[in-house]
Structure formats: C-alpha cells, structure tokens
C-alpha cells in the first residue's frame, strides 16, 4: 500500500506540474494573441486617422482612437517581433529554474511507466549532472574559459532581445548596447525610461559578475604558473650540462668540485633533480657559502623514476649523469639506484652521456652493471672509503696525497686521446709530456678498460687514451721527444714486512671486507684490535654472516674490546702507546653515510 501511495503521489505531482506548465503556455499564447489583435486595431486606427486628415473630414464627427501613451509592464511593443522577443527572454529565464527544480522526478516517472519496482538506490539526477560538470572542469583545462565565454554570449544575446523588446531601436543596435553594458557597467547611466533601465541594470550586473569570474580565472592561472615556477615544475632548456639525480649529504662537496672543474672553461650548468621542494634545495645550496665561479646550479623537483621528470631536465642532452645513493638502508638505496638506471635506459631519445651510479653495497654492483650495460659506471663509495682508510692506516701521510689527487684544487687525473702518439711504446709516452705524468692507458680494444702502469713495451693503437696526472685538462700536451741519458740503476729489493698492531674504533657494516683486505696486506703475526660497543659474540656472528671465516685468518689476530671511544675512561683501559695505527670508523649506532 505504501508503494501505491508513492505512485499516486508522484502521479499527482507530475499532473500538477503538467497542468501548471500547460496553463502557463496557454496564458502566454492567449496573451500573444490579444496583443496581436490590439496591435492590428491600433494600426487600423492610425491608418484611419491619417485617411481622415487627408480627406478633410471633421474630427468632431469621428471619434479617433489615439494610441495609449501609458502601457502596462507586459505590453512592451507594438509589433509582433518585439512581443515574441519579450516572451522568449522570460521563457528562457524561467525554464532553467523550473527544470532544475523538477528534474529529479524524471527517473521516477520513467520507472512508473515501466510498471516495475526498482529496489536499487539510484543517484539523483541533479548529483549526476553536477558530477559530470565537475569531471568536465577537471579533465579539460579550457572548460572553465569556454563556459565563461558561452555565458557571456548568452548574456549578450538575451540582453539584446530584452532591450529590443523594451526599446524602439533595431535588434542589431540592441545587441550592440547589450555588449557595451556587459563590457562597461557604467554605460547604462544614460538610459531613459523605467523598463530600459531595469533591463540595462540586469545586463550590467551580469557583466560585472562575468568580469569578476574572468578575473578569478586569470588570477588562478597566474598563481598556478608562479607556483609551477616556484616548485620547479618548468622544463630545463640546456645542453651539455651535468645532471645529478637524487639528494644526499655528499651533494655539497660534489657541487664544489664540479665548480672548480668548470672554472677553466668559465663555468657550466649543473642541474639537480630530487624529490624535494625546489625552495628547500636552493636554501640548502645557498648555505654552502661557496663561490661557484661561474657555474650555475639549477634545481628541479621531481622523481628520477618518472620519464616525464627526466625529460623535464633534458636528460638526453646531458654531458654526464650522476646518480647519488640515498641515505639509509644500503639495500634499499641500491634498489632505488637500479630503478633509476632502468628509467634511464627507457629514454626514447637515447643518452649521449655516460652515467655514474653511486652504490652502497659491493654485492649489488654486478646487478646494476648487468642492467645498465656499457653505459653505466658504478662507484661503491662505502667500499672505496674503507679501502682508502686501510691504506692510509698502513701508510702515514697517504691521506693528504689522496685528498690532493681526488680533488680539483691541485693536480688530478685526466683521460684524453692523442692521435700523434699512436704507434709509440709506453716508455716513450712517459717522457712525452713535460707538464703531466702518464699513469696508464684506456685500451680501446678491451672495451675501454683502464690499464695502470702498463709494460714499457706496450704499443699504443688507434683509439687508445692516455691517463695522466696534471694540473688541469688544458695545461698539458705531448711535446717533442727529449734526449734520454741511459744509466744503470741498481736493483731495489722490496723491504721486508713486519707484524703491525692496529686499532679500529667503531663498527662498520662492511668491516668484514676491510678485514679481508688487511689479511692480504699485513705480515703474519699482526693484531687487529676492535674497540666498539657491539658485544663480542654479536660481532663474530655479524662477521660470519658477512662471509668472513675467522678461523682461516692467517696474518691477523682479532682482539675484541667493548667500550665507547668517546669516553676517555674507556680509552684509558687500552694500550694506546703500543699501536702502530689507530683508525676511527662510523659507530654502529649511527646510519651509514
């Protein structure tokens, strides 16, 4: 019974709505009909009045019906076209509101016509229309502008019709007046008459609303563009630049060295792409307080894993690409580096530069080389630093040498091809550079492999490059072959190795690899004291998990001591005066950098 009551209620509402609409239509039609009759009678009256004047007929004998000077609000014109224009405007203004009010009854009437009961909950038609409009504005960027343009055209059109209905001007002149009211709301001040003023005020109000909406759209567009520039979303139009992918604590030192390296060419361009805000990156770089000597650093916010962000920084036109390892877990950092390499290999334009990838774990290096191929060069910074620490511990003063050679402040390594040296033996190449020291050869026949200190009888072939130590890449060149005075030098024997006693303060994730290197360099009977806060049993377990067989160590004897190297009381318990070398590594509790 409830369902029947609802059906009857809907039918009643629908019938009432239809009766109301029919009544309105009939009333409008009848009004137009009467207005047409009145217009014809007035026209006949005017013609009769003219005829009487022309025939010299006395006006006292004939009652002349003069046209009414005062007309009602709904009697706007004396012609059919002006009346139709009036009711067209009124009908067009009323119908949208009426349709919006009763639009939700359309699906219900449709279900009633099917004589079925639908238990599914349907979304109201108003919400669906609002959703479609929302999707349209979200998907199409110019939808708002087109909607505003369409609203402006409608306002001018209906305003012109309204002005044509209440004024004596032509339709074209009414359209032009409507446009002037929309463009400048002050133009309606000179309008004379009550009805024209009402219409002009309505048009001017709509024009002010459209102008406000247009200002809002322009303001939003400008704000979005400024935000895009501020957040680093714009494209980088550069070529032969150095591209750095990622962000880490080593970026500051890297930028300093690149600036020094580019000093000889008047500076360069370095582009940094990282998943950080552009303003934060620029602030951190400004905190370095370093003179970049003409080198420009451009920051862009984005992910190196997304091809669109890589194209945004002109990855295909870069001279060199550096992929930095992220701080934190080594395996996660290497996994991210692998995904970055996969993204680089997917660039359709191709890469014209070589790619240097920083790895965190030596065990993950082969996988990245396998994916990247010959284009990728890997640097396991953590392993390299560990090896350098061992060498510096065994050779006092070597740290200063590494600092000079691996930086750009003094002399550094350079690789360059010199075609005039093809066919010469390496012993002749050694004396061909007066301002550089040849150290090796990049063999072209062996896939570009670097051969350090080759045999004196090695003959350079086409494509081979010379590795030298020089002050800068433009400060050296091969000269004429000098005269060599031959002398007999005594044979120098290698000095014997003696047992050493080393102290490592702290714990590293790859300390097992460092112990292996020490095993090959130290003489039998050497001792390695390990002083840190890791319990001794846990140390042995970690060393075994890392692949180190402690029982097979021949040259080194491990001594475990627990304590904190920062606390003086703990250090006083160690025989510090007996150690040949003391090295401090990153503590176990701190993240690996």
Question: How many other C-beta atoms lie within 10 A of the C-beta of residue 341?
Answer: 24
Residues contacting 275, CB < 8 A, separation 6+:
247, 301, 302, 303
Rounded Cα gap, residues 410 and 470, in angstroms = 8
Rounded Cα gap, residues 556 and 550, in angstroms = 9
The two tokens of residue 489 are: 């030098």
DSSP code, position 167: S
Rounded Cα gap, residues 15 and 127, in angstroms = 25
Edge-to-edge strand order for the sheet containing 449-452? 412-416, 465-470, 437-443, 449-452
What does the DSSP assignment read for 64-108? --PPPSS--TT---SSHHHHHHHHHHHHHHHHHHHHHHHTTHHHH
Rounded Cα gap, residues 556 and 549, in angstroms = 12
Quick one: pLDDT at residue 271? Answer: 93
- Beta bridge partners, 526, equal 556
Count Cβ atoms within 10 A of the Cβ of residue 12 and give its class: 0-12 exposed, 13-18 middle, 19 or more buried: exposed
Q: pTM value? A: 0.61
Rounded Cα gap, residues 296 and 265, in angstroms = 13
CB 207 within 8 A of CB 181: yes
The two tokens of residue 360 are: 């965190």
CB 129 within 8 A of CB 159: no
Quick one: pLDDT at residue 380? Answer: 87
3-state SS, residue 477: coil
CA distances from residue 337 to 168, 274, 324, 365, 367 in whole angstroms, order as listed: 78, 13, 8, 10, 11
| Strands 320-323 vs 242-245: parallel, antiparallel or unpaired | parallel
Place of tokens 């032509």: 170
Quick one: pLDDT at residue 34? Answer: 65
Place of tokens 């130590």: 469
Quick one: pLDDT at residue 1? Answer: 42
CB 437 within 8 A of CB 469: yes
Cα separation of the two ends of the chain: 77
Rounded Cα gap, residues 408 and 470, in angstroms = 10
Phi and psi at residue 311, to the nearest 5°: -65, -30
The two tokens of residue 583 are: 């090295």
pLDDT tens, the chain, 593 aa long: 433 344 344 334 344 444 444 444 445 455 555 666 666 777 777 777 777 765 444 444 444 444 444 444 334 344 467 777 776 777 777 777 666 666 666 666 666 655 555 555 566 767 777 778 778 877 777 888 888 888 888 888 888 888 887 887 788 888 888 888 888 877 777 777 787 888 888 888 888 888 888 888 888 888 877 777 777 678 888 888 999 999 988 888 889 888 888 887 888 899 999 998 888 898 898 888 888 888 999 999 889 999 889 999 999 899 999 999 887 788 888 899 999 999 888 887 778 788 999 988 888 888 888 888 878 888 888 778 888 888 888 888 888 888 777 777 778 888 999 999 999 999 889 989 989 999 999 998 887 888 998 998 999 999 999 999 988 888 889 988 877 777 777 777 777 888 999 998 888 877 888 888 888 888 899 999 999 888 888 888 888 888 888 888 888 999 988 988 888 888 888 888 899 888 887 654 444 44
**Which of 95, 93, 76 lies closest to 164, judged by CA?**
76
Per residue in 399-429, is it b (16+ CB within 10 Å) or e — as a string?
Answer: eeeeeeeeebeebbebeeebeebeebebeeb
The dihedral of CA 147, 148, 149, 153: what is its sign?
Answer: positive
Question: How many other C-beta atoms lie within 10 A of the C-beta of residue 360?
Answer: 26
Question: How many other C-beta atoms lie within 10 A of the C-beta of residue 143?
Answer: 14
Count Cβ atoms within 10 A of the Cβ of residue 119 and give its class: 0-12 exposed, 13-18 middle, 19 or more buried: exposed
CA 109 to chain centre: 51
The two tokens of residue 92 are: 């067009």
Count Cβ atoms within 10 A of the Cβ of residue 4 and give its class: 0-12 exposed, 13-18 middle, 19 or more buried: exposed
């Amino acid at each position: 019974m409830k369902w029947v009551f609802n059906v009857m209620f809907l039918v009643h509402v629908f019938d009432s709505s239809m009766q109301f609409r029919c009544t309105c239509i009939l009333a409008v039609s009848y009004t137009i009909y009467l207005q047409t009759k009145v217009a014809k009678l007035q026209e006949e009256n005017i013609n009769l009045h003219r005829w009487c004047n022309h025939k010299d007929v006395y006006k006292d004998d004939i009652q002349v019906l003069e046209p009414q000077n005062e007309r009602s609000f709904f009697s706007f014109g004396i012609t059919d076209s002006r009346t139709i224009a009036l009711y067209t405007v009124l009908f067009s203004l009323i119908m949208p509101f009426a349709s919006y009010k009763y639009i939700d009854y359309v699906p219900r009437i449709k279900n009633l016509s099917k004589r079925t009961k639908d238990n599914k909950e349907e979304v109201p038609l108003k919400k669906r229309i609002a959703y479609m409009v929302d999707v349209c504005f979200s998907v199409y960027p110019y939808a708002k502008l087109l909607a505003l343009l369409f609203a402006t055209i409608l306002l001018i059109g209906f305003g012109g019709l309204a002005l044509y209905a209440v004024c004596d001007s032509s339709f074209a002149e009414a359209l032009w007046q409507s446009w002037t009211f929309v463009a400048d709301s002050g133009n309606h001040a000179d309008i004379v008459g009550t009805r024209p003023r009402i219409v002009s005020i309505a048009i001017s109000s709509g024009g002010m609303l459209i102008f406000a909406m247009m200002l809002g759209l322009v303001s939003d567009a400008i704000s979005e563009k400024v935000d895009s520039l501020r957040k680093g979303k714009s494209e980088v139009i550069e070529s032969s630049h150095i591209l750095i992918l990622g962000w880490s604590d080593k970026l500051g030192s890297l930028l300093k060295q690149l600036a020094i390296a580019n000093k000889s060419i008047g500076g360069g361009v370095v582009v940094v792409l990282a998943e950080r805000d552009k303003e934060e990156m620029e602030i951190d770089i400004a905190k370095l307080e370093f003179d970049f000597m003409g080198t420009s650093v451009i920051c862009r916010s984005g992910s190196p894993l997304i091809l669109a962000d890589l194209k945004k920084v002109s990855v295909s036109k870069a001279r060199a690409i550096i992929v930095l390892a992220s701080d934190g877990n080594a395996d996660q950092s290497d996994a991210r580096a692998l995904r970055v390499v996969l993204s680089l290999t997917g660039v359709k334009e191709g890469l014209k530069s070589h790619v240097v990838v920083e790895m965190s774990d030596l065990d993950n290096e082969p996988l990245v080389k396998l994916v990247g191929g010959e284009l990728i060069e890997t640097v396991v910074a953590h392993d390299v630093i560990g090896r350098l620490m061992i060498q510096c511990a065994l050779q006092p003063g070597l740290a200063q040498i590494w600092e000079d050679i691996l930086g750009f402040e003094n002399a550094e390594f350079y690789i360059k091809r010199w075609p005039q040296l093809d066919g010469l033996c390496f012993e002749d190449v050694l004396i061909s550079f007066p301002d550089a020291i040849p150290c090796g050869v990049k063999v072209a026949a062996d896939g570009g492999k670097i051969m350090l200190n080759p045999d004196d009888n090695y003959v350079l072939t086409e494509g081979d490059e010379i590795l030298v130590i020089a002050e800068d890449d433009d400060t050296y060149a091969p000269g004429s072959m000098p005269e060599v005075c031959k002398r007999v030098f005594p044979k120098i024997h290698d000095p014997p190795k003696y047992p050493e006693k080393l102290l490592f303060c702290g714990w590293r994730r790859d300390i097992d690899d460092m112990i292996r290197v020490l095993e090959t360099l130290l003489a039998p009977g050497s001792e390695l004291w390990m002083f840190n806060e890791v319990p001794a049993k846990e140390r042995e377990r970690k060393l075994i998990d890392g692949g180190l067989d402690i029982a097979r160590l021949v040259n080194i004897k491990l001594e475990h001591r627990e304590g904190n190297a920062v606390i003086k009381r703990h250090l006083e318990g160690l025989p510090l005066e007996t150690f040949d070398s003391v090295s401090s590594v990153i503590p176990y509790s701190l993240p690996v950098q």
